[in-house]
Amino acid sequence: MSPPPSKKARHFFIDNLLQKGDGDYVKHLGEETKITRKFNLTKLSTKFLITNIPPDPEGLLKGIFQECIDKTLETSHGHQLDPDQLGCTVSSQLLESDIWIPIREISPNTVDSILNQFLKVAQSKKQDQGMLWGEPFTVSVTAIDKKHLPTTRTIQGSGKDSSTNQHKIKQHNLIKIINSDNYCLFRSLSATFIFSTCSWPKWKFYDYMHSRLGMKKRLEHDTTFLMENVGAPPGQPTYAANEWVPKVVDYWNSRNDGLF
């Protein structure tokens, strides 16, 4: 378990070190804002360059995260949204993979949670807080106004319904999901992701969908992995698409550079 941020970090103010363009420790290289009204989603991606490490590197990191969160919430409020959930992604060429904080309820500990997760990854790689030093990195904060999402057309994922519904849809246009649990929303998203991005031959995708041969339980594993990474708790009676699809899309984008 990673240690909590030092008390010194709590007294750090990013404005003392961060400037537009050249700063003593950090350069602000630009930012990009994306508003998705359909899901009440605000995403602010800010690029930085750490040019020097201050005596309190944890304070510098916390200040950067706090600055990005504050700007995202301010931008969201400016578009008449009132976020109650937030997540963060840190991307850099110096990282083997992005550091991704799942979207969760906003709390007074949100910034500390992001910092602790970052430090945990740094410790696992036996690196210090200088792991971002010298190359541009991007902090992407996603905020969602979940409480004001429309509920008149709720789409949910749950177990198989015993009733039979007739739809005029050609069978070959469907990806059929057969499961006895309540994870069909995430299972269908995982299958659709593979179908859309992997360009597998039909036989391989068939094996994937039916857990055959070398693909045995691969879809089940991918579904569990996806749920864990978007923070979906297991064992729920239903999972609403208007709540979880935006989080899945944001997670995919954090891994696939704006593909979705």
Cα 94 from Cα 131, distance rounded (Å):
7
Specify whether the CB–CB gap between 151 and 55 falls below 8 A.
Answer: no
Predicted pLDDT of residue 3: 42
pLDDT tens digit sequence for 158-184: 555 545 555 555 555 566 676 667 888
CATH (one of 1.20.1300, 2.40.50, 3.30.310, 3.30.1490) for 26-144: 3.30.1490
Output b/e per residue, 119-142; b: 16+ Cβ within 10 A: bebbeeeeeebebbbeebbbbbbb
What are the structural domain ranges in the chain?
26-144, 175-256
Predicted pLDDT of residue 170: 57
Predicted pLDDT of residue 20: 43
Cα 72 from Cα 86, distance rounded (Å):
10
Cα 187 from Cα 221, distance rounded (Å):
10
Task: Going residue by residue through the chain, which has 260 residues, state the pLDDT in tens, using 9 for 90 and above.
Answer: 334 444 343 333 444 444 444 457 888 999 999 998 888 899 999 999 988 888 888 888 899 999 999 999 999 999 999 999 988 888 888 877 777 777 888 988 888 888 887 787 667 655 544 567 788 999 999 999 988 887 655 555 555 554 555 555 555 556 667 666 788 899 889 888 887 777 677 888 888 888 888 888 888 889 999 999 888 888 888 888 888 888 888 888 777 654 44
Residue with tokens 């849809």: 169
Cα 185 from Cα 177, distance rounded (Å):
9
Specify whether the CB–CB gap between 115 and 10 falls below 8 A.
Answer: no
